[in-house]
Structure 1
Amino acid sequence: MAQPSAANRQSTLAAPDTIAQPFSRRSLLRGALMATGALAVPSFLTGCSSSSGGSGGGKTVSIGSNAAIPEPKGAYQTLFNQVQQTTGLTVNVNWVDHNTFQQNITTYLQGNPQDVFSWFAGERMQFFAAQGLLSNVDDVWAKIGANYTDAMKAQSKGADGHYYFVPFDYYPWAVYYSKSLWASKGYTAPTTWDDFIALAKKMKGDGLIPMAFTDKDGWPAMGTFDYLNMRINGYDFHIDLMRNGTKWNTPQVKAVFDQWRELIPYYSPGFLGLTWQEGAQQLLNKQAGMMVLGLDQIGTIFTGAQADDLGFFAFPEINPTYGQDSVEAPIDGFMMSRSPKNKAGAQSVLEYLGTAAAQQLWLGSNPADIATASGVDTTKYTAPQAASVQLIQGAKHLSQFMDRDTRPDFADPVMLPAIQQFLNNPDGAAGILSNIDKQAKTIWASNG
């Protein structure tokens, strides 16, 4: 399902089933405007279903899906067909592209949403739970709880301790590369920052773009910030920064941007004008040596026979105190609206979606993610999927991604343009951090 968040993450549509330009994630500013009535909600992001029939009660359950593009829509259609067979319910799906769904989520939830809908774990879930826009799904978890680890359970709860989220899939962010290119050049994966920079220099000397970095859409750079901050200042500092909005104008965060400056000379030429797809193609075409991205994105570029050529390593250690103990692993899943027309049916659908069988079926058509439930046959995973499981299970901490770990009215409206401003003018970091700090304090003070 994308980050980011999601994800999240691949393409945007002007209307259901109509492909348009790459997803930008500039969602929350527009969402805030719509909450005040400044923008209208598109007619297709309402309680009506794109399938025949109404949401109703009894044997019909409505689902709001953010997967209108051909893939992963096809994988979800297969899944929802199986939902009908397994539960005996009629499932009506409102297909909306990811970007439009995310941009309009606040007004959608305040209006007449579907019974069940796609969304993300982390602060993005807790934010709406705290506003009373969701139904808790404690009864669902009473049946699916054995399928999940304690870490997944924690990611599915609101601040009040109730469950509001059923995890479905997730994926790591890491440093990706072409195995065959690396084998031909004799490169080995670095574990420390010094080795990372030395490898980038070697790649540049070999005529490669060391880092396929692109940030036209703004959100891809957030993953690099998150890793730099967790590697330098630790997971606890990072999450505190995301959740509380304090400490932005501090030596700790300044150190993140200072470290980042070392990478910029190794980035793709014109990176602020390139989409992540263009960067991933540089990697696929062996023009670039490395790329910091999520499997959910790059796994859609390295497909078929090329999938096993996709390798990755954990973002390198900077501060030995924290090593490589944290992994960015956004979790996607499903939630229930606050007043579902068919609550019992919605619970049955969520119970099925919380099983290994459901997730395995979906992954059969969408091998760019990994399942959240235990019991999935991992022998059917691609090499990148199997390696992703090892990376995530070996982590001490899991973060969700900047635009999921912090407030929705701060991530995109403030941080997205601020990071782009820094990347365009690294010498202006001090002023940028001062401005971020002022905006953060205003947002947290005015909204609680």
Structure 2
Amino acid sequence: MTRSLRRLATLAGSLAFGFALMALTAQTATQTAAAGTLVINAGTSDPAPKQAFEELIERFEAENPDIEVKLNVFDHEGFKTSVRNFLSSQAPDVITWFAGNRMKTFVDRNLLEDVSDVWEDNGLKDAMPSSLSAMTVDGKQYGVPWSYYQWGVYYRRDIFEEMGLTAPKTWDEFMAVNEKLKAGGVTPIAIGTKYLWTAGGWFDYLNLRVNGLPFHLELMDGKVPYTDDRVRAVFDKWRQMVDAGHFLENHATYSWQEAQPFVFQGKAAMYLIGNFFVPFFPAEIADKMDFFQFPVINPDVPMYEDAPIDTVHIPARAQNKEDARKFLAFVARADNQTAMNKVLERLPPNKEATVKDDRFLQAGFTMLSESEGLAQFYDRDTDPEMAKLGMQGFQEFMVKPDRLDRILDRLEKSRQRIFKQ
């Protein structure tokens, strides 16, 4: 029987998942005790991540014939609800997870292993500098990134060319482009905020450009009041666009997908979104679409970006930490990140990796590799309850900007309660 056949199949379904989880917990405890066995629990059940991870493990086993990998693949949503159980008892040796606050939550509970030595021994701070801050808590690294994707402004290049416009690089240029588009009968910015998180993207970028990443992360960590003048400065910029009518009308009634046709039909020119937007481009306009980096607002603030990162970690209670460290170093290698992200059609965090020949991925790779640091997105960087309340406030502000004081006071009371500060 081959190693791949010895791996457990994907666990899915509600009742079946629960019974399988209990059985798996007992099995994992036995497996982790076996010498030369590396147990990995992964929430990679979607076809592309599943294929990428299985091929990675085949390569790892080929280079390490003395190590047998037991890969347990879980339904993505089921994994997110069960990971705390994995970490608290009968922990596997490696788990897949996410950077930012979602990682820090487990670090603060002493459930993840400090792997700063893996970063140091393999030169990862030089190889993956833009991911470093997202993997670091109190100066120590607690995992390794293996895939990410860029955010930015996707736009109709043909409309820009017809109106004599070029991609803006500064806030003043951006506002001028918006005004010319509006005067020409085109909505400058498409957005659908029915499900809130797209408004979180606008807050992220405005805050990153006005105040920078260190301040942004302090706010996400509950250490800064939402009534702080620096936060108000973010909403001042945002309100310039709201008051000028630069956003799609009635955006709160549209999901992010329902707002797409406005761009595809040429009724709107731009969309601030992640690279997962690209596969939705209709064939007839795909060549007319382009991408630019969110413009500079404060020239004294470095260019930080939103780039949600998928990661691997060693649980603090893992049994086979020696082989787990070998695996994390293997995942971090440029050749392996090239192979994985070719399957995923996403970006490798290792700057020495090769990116798939796709103009949007190439543009994103260059931008993120040169970034001074990465945020993970509002709902990954802050407490889940705070994220929900914050994004509700952002949507409300975009519809009723005169309520800003009331919104910020409400968010500040929530911050004090949630973070107990």
Pairwise same-fold verdict (TM > 0.5): yes
Matched, 1:298 2:277: yes
Q: CA deviation at 1:108?
A: 4.6
CA distances 1:250-303 after superposition (whole Å, capped 9, x unpaired):
3332232233233343333442243333334543454431111122x2244359
Matches within 5 A, 1:73-112: 73-88=50-65, 89-97=68-76, 99-103=77-81, 105-112=83-90
Aligned ranges for residues 244-393 of structure 1 at < 5 Å? 244-264=222-242, 265-280=245-260, 282-284=262-264, 286-295=266-275, 297-302=276-281, 310-322=289-301, 325-367=303-345, 369-378=346-355, 380-393=356-369
- Indicate the SS of the match to 1:387: helix
Aligned residues: 402
Q: Which has the larger radius of gyration?
A: 2
Alignment of 1:30-429 (within 5 A): 48=24, 55-56=31-32, 57-88=34-65, 89-97=68-76, 99-103=77-81, 105-146=83-124, 148-159=127-138, 161-264=139-242, 265-280=245-260, 282-284=262-264, 286-295=266-275, 297-302=276-281, 310-322=289-301, 325-367=303-345, 369-378=346-355, 380-406=356-382, 408-429=383-404
Answer with 327-336 or 434-443: which moved more: 327-336
**1: CA distance between counterparts of 2:324 and 2:131?**
21
How many angstroms apart in 1 are the aligned matches of 2:286 and 2:361? Answer: 10
- Matched residues in 1 for 2:160 and 2:11: separation? 41
Deviation string, structure 1 residues 393-423 (Cα, Å, up to 9, x no partner): 44344333223333x2454243232223323
Could you tell me the TM-score, scaled by structure 2's length? 0.81
The structure-2 alpha-carbon separation of the partners of 1:233 and 1:303, relative to structure 1 and needing over 3 Å to count, comes to same
Q: Which letter does structure 2 place at the counterpart of 1:262?
A: Q
Structure 1 residues 330-356: Cα deviation after superposition (integer angstroms, max 9, x where no partner): 332111122224333323322211111
State whether residues 386 and 414 of structure 2, in contact with CA within 8 Å, keep that contact through their aligned partners in structure 1: no
Shift of 1:84: 3.8
From 394, 415, 418, give the equivalent of 1:440. 415
**Matches of 2:282 and 2:120 in 1, distance apart?**
38
Q: Secondary structure of the residue that 1:312 maps to in structure 2?
A: strand
Q: 1:111 to 1:202 in 2, by over 3 A?
A: farther
Q: 1:219 to 1:118 in 2, by over 3 A?
A: farther
More helix by share: 2
Cα pair distance change 1:405/1:287, threshold 3 Å:
same
Does the 8 A contact of 1:177 with 1:312 survive in 2? yes
- Residue 377 of structure 1 and its aligned partner are, at CA, apart by 2.7
CA RMSD, Structure 1 to Structure 2 (Å): 3.5
**Structure 2 spans left out of the alignment, 5+ residues:** 1-9
% of aligned pairs identical?
Answer: 29
TM-score by length of 1: 0.77
The residue identity in structure 1 corresponding to 2:39 is: S
Residues in 2 aligned to 1:304 and 1:82: alpha-carbon distance in whole angstroms = 36
Following TM superposition, by how much is the alpha carbon of 1:166 offset from its aligned partner in structure 2, in angstroms? 0.7
